[in-house]
Structure 1
Amino acid sequence: MFCFEYGTSNIYAQLGFADAEEIPLKAGIVKDIADRIRAAGLTMSEAAAMLGTSQSDLLLALCGKFQSFRAAELRSWLERLSFPLQRSPSRMDGFHSRYFPCSGSDGLSRIG
């Protein structure tokens, strides 16, 4: 017979992460950043320049390695991407694999 315990809905808090409350918040912001970059058809270089950061830092954040970034910094990136989006189909072909190399076709992170 199994015995189940119910805890908080934040698994990071249950696992003892110091920034447990910020992790889901940061993940949501980064998802919105990625969606905006993708919808605008920006390259990593263009997006990094627009955000005022390096391509390597942007890539880390987009691949889920955002623990070293403050939520306020990520929010400022998102604000810089808050412009009317115009989809550019010709630039979007193969966008995910070209500009988000941390994800494969299965969407799983490949950066260790």
Structure 2
Amino acid sequence: MSSSPQEEPTAAGESSSSQQPTDSPSAPEETTASSSSSRDPSPSQCSHCRKVETDPEKPFKPCSKCQSEKYCSRDCQKAGWKMHKKVCGEKAQKWAATANLKMDAPRVVKKEGHRGGLQKWQFDT
């Protein structure tokens, strides 16, 4: 009986060691994928003039429709619109399909005691 518990850890050790080489090649792929996604935000640049974002407190503003292009100023956004509008709708559809729009939408805080629409006193006039 004592030989079977010794064999089980050996068998488990062999099976886990045989699984480790299988897992280790996929681990660098995950690392590569995460490092490539981490590379995307760091060299953020204006989609029109290619100015690099240097101040983290003043990030470039994304296109309000598709969120894929970033612009350093409103002037650059207007100047780049002629080219960007050709792909903006398609990119917006892709973004909307993957984005959590409920979480991305700004929350509107209602004033206390304020209802939307007409007030009761407004019907009397």
Q: Normalising TM by the smaller chain, what interval?
A: under 0.3
What TM-score do you get using the length of structure 2 for normalisation? 0.24
What TM-score do you get using the length of structure 1 for normalisation? 0.26
Higher RCO (CA < 8 A, seq sep 6+): 1
